[in-house]
Chain A
């Protein structure tokens, strides 16, 4: 439901002033062989240096040669576009409790980040992973660069449904198997899975030299434990496991404690790895999260 806001003009206008907090590509020496191939060239001159054997003669400064009779090579600042992948958890836990609309919040934030990223014409795509029949299923949108094409994400976003028991590490492995150039990955999830699984996923992404940002999404009722009191059978949305429970104030407090503990574990795991991390708790706080929490936590600048 909430994801529909992502394509409303009023919401997009609020995002126009934001810039993705991304570390740009490093300068490389143009005209020099690097690992057997030229990595790329820019148009902004950086410096000059003496010609050395093996340098590409196309970068020889012919004016300097004519005037000074000296072989000089021009160097440029190479500019590289950054591929941005917004990886969204679409497992069944993202859909529960239904009232929290965690998945809608995740899609809204993901779309907002994509819009922000497209301000610098970086190629952006959305990727969602879920579980189906015991296997991890990863669906991808196409890359879009310009904001004029932002609305092309709408069909993809509308088609996403959460379900199944997802394994984040397996989804990341599937993503890395594409062998795309290193870029930025924004991971949006409730991280309600085993610590081993999400830590493996984070480690793999970092090992692939991606710049990683994490958005930890939780629902308001989930965090507060504010379920209506009474006797219930609760069922794990992903595993189907059923437990009988009586919900009351004490159980709500226990839930809060457990949610806080879980959030702290995720945050600690990100901090240990130097990963930008933000918490997005409560769908009703979407605007505040985007405008205040994201810049503060370095997701956007």
Chain B
């Protein structure tokens, strides 16, 4: 009979306790990890190909972006890589010897990679500086890119180099994400997809374009006075409220942050939906017209951005588009 009661006594001893044990390392599910983000860096949305992205601001509202992007192995094609980036900022291509001179050794997570810097041509209206570090491994080539306003990039370069030392890349985690990455990568010669499942009437002349990250639809707006584009993003929340969004938009045309008291003079209500509003800002020849429209439990963010000469004539069409049922 006493034997029968032993399980009960055992049950009484089965108290939860903290355990510690040693196990073989697991393969991380995240393709890239890091020890600590440098001060001022904030995680932001990944671009089409990147697996991690950060944004850092400068004193005057300028920004620079840091991305980590794995690509199929490209070791031995350094000249092509350097020239690809040079082309991006409007610089002429270099020969093998010249390209090789651009490369400096850099530590990336305990391995030796290469780093090179490129600045846009002085005639470029939007000066850009790019610092790229690359690490070629058997199954992937990793690119860490710091790009944006030259002053911000220069200021952040030491932090970027320190950050690279703590980075850990995990090629194995890419295998699972391979098809997802392939799906994210734009098809090289395919036509841009039309906006899906939307009933709205797109103004004449607006051409559907491939939506960027965090965008649900995008249109290019051809205009004689310059280039402009319209984008629509839909979020399940107001993403921080009017002031936060207006300030983010102000930053995109180089304007400083506004305060809560400035808001009243910056925004105008729209009749599209209760709480809908419009903001129209310009700086240095660029104009930004944005709208925030709460609809059916979601927040629609419309953006018309480009050179002022191209944006201004589109304002009326843009407002009609914003008001139309999506």
Q: State yes or no: do A and B come from one complex.
A: no
